[in-house]
Amino acid sequence: MLDEEFVRSATVKEQSGRTRMLAARWKHTPPVDPGGRRSVNDGPATPKRRFGRRPELRVVDPWGNPRPARRRGGWWRTPLVVLLVVAGLLASLNVNAVSNWVSGLRSSKADAPVPVVAPETARPTTAPPDTPDDQPTVDHPWKASPAAGWPTGTEAMVLPEAKATGVFSADEVAAQLQQVKDYLAAANLDPKVIAGARPDAALAMLDHEDRKDAADALDHPGKDHDPLSWFSRFDPREAVLVGDAVKVQGRLSYEGDGDGGVLIHTDFTFVYPLQPGPDARKLAEDRPAPSATPSAPQGGSARPVGLVEPAAASSGDTWTTRTIVRRVGDYRFYDPDRHQVDAKKIVLGKAMSDVGNNACSVYDGFVHPQFRQFARPHPEQTGPTTDPYDRSHDLAPSGQCGTTSRE
């Protein structure tokens, strides 16, 4: 019976026609392995190493073609690209905000602790170290300022030990030293006076003749009678004090005047951080540029020409500036038995001052600081360039309009 069992039990099995054809062909012409094509029955090939590198295992499909390897952890790339594109669009729409943000990142260094500088006990031998020309802001008004670590206000006015001098006892000398300190504070540190108010408290401490001269200068300011010789005042429409801190550095000493009286010497530098007032831009644009003529005998200097920046190129909404005022003066207390004076009033002796970052040839009784965002060239700045923080030399105003090396 030619059934299934008979077929399975056959000892000779006839090859297929294709097998017999290939066997006859390969008998005369053996097949050549072309390489690169593998059968699924061949198993994975052993990768070869090149230049000692670890072989890379490749995944193939059932036909021997390599499959692309799956990247692990790449799910975040697409959201990141989308986020960067959106950030770029927002930045292009609000360039000023991005600029302020970058400035805020750079200003983080300004939050670092500033080394504290003690009040002077003698004249320094060198100027403070150089600082970068970083733009101060309302949040960081002391950025890049040598005065950042200086004492604040009257903390710098350390009084020496009082001893009996001339006809005055130690207690009287102590009272005179305190009176000079109070006068300097009333003339240069009173917030109301800084904001343009009349310095009535400081005037009341002066002797009759000096009080009259200072009052006349306030009532009729001019080149020959400039109130800035006595007081530090700003026009609140143009400049407003940032916060309530004024940095001060200097020293105070005393000696006998050789005639039974007391002579008190002072040398202090006051640094005022300022932000633009409500009319700062208009006042800066309306003020005519002065000719190249000498400034007041008390001296003065505007901002460096190299720091002038067009208003259209600056954001400036939070930008501030600083004005530096150095005052050197002698205050006398005469022997009341030999001179017709009030022993409880101050008599002004030698007095000199220099104002850094102040408009030259303007004599209206106010300091006029120059802000970078409203700056314009100053052809009248023909005097020397000086460092307003350098206290290692005597104050000797040149009578010319110069430039300050820093603010």
- DSSP string covering 49-100: PSTTPPPPP--B-TTSPBPPPPPTTGGGHHHHHHHHHHHHHHHHH-HHHHHH
Using the Cα atoms of residue 5, residue 10, residue 11 and residue 14 in order, give the sign of their dihedral. negative
Instruction: Give the lowest-confidence range in 173-187, 199-213, 314-328.
Output: 314-328
Sign of the dihedral defined by the CA atoms of residues 278, 282, 286, 292, in that order:
positive
Contact (Cβ atoms closer than 8 angstroms) between residue 321 and residue 388: no
Q: Which long-range contacts (CB under 8 A, 24 or more apart) does 209-214 make?
A: 210/346, 210/347, 210/348
Q: For 310, phi and psi rounded to 5 degrees?
A: -60, 145
Domain-embedded: residue 273? yes
Mean pLDDT to the nearest integer, 104-132: 76
Cα(264)–Cα(120) distance, rounded to whole angstroms? 16
Of the candidates 345, 354, 355, the one whose C-alpha atom is nearest the C-alpha of residue 180 is 345
pLDDT for position 359: 85
Over residues 88-113, mean pLDDT:
58
Q: Evaluate whether residue 71 is within a structural domain.
A: no
**Does 141 map to a domain?**
no
Cβ atoms of 176 and 261 within 8 Å: the answer is no
Q: What is the pLDDT of residue 297?
A: 36
- Determine contact, residues 138/242, Cβ cutoff 8 Å: yes
**Which two structure tokens, joined as six digits, stand for 380?**
């009248």
Amino acid identity of 192? K
Residue 335 lies in a domain: yes
The amino acid that residue 394 corresponds to is D
Instruction: Report yes or no on 322 lying in a domain.
Output: yes
3-state secondary structure (DSSP) of residue 211 = helix
- The pLDDT tens digits of the residues spanning 145-184 come to 999 999 999 999 999 999 999 999 999 999 999 999 999 9
Residue 186 lies in a domain: yes
Give the amino acid at 189: L
- In the predicted model, what is the mean pLDDT of residues 222-237? 91
**217, 229 contact by CB (below 8 A):** yes
- Residue 294 pLDDT greater than 70, yes or no: no
pLDDT at 215: 94
Print the domain residue range for 353.
151-404
pLDDT grade, residue 304 (50/70/90)? very low
Q: What's the confidence (pLDDT) of residue 84?
A: 85
Residue 60 in tokens: 């193939």
Nearest Cα to Cα of residue 275 among 237, 320, 244, 309: 320
pLDDT of residue 115: 83
Q: How many domains does the chain have?
A: 1
Retrieve residue 79's tokens: 């959201």
**Residue 84 within a domain:** no
* Cβ partners under 8 Å of residue 251, min gap 6: 119, 120, 121, 122, 123, 158, 266, 267, 268
Region 237-241: mean pLDDT is 93
Mean pLDDT of 347-357: 90
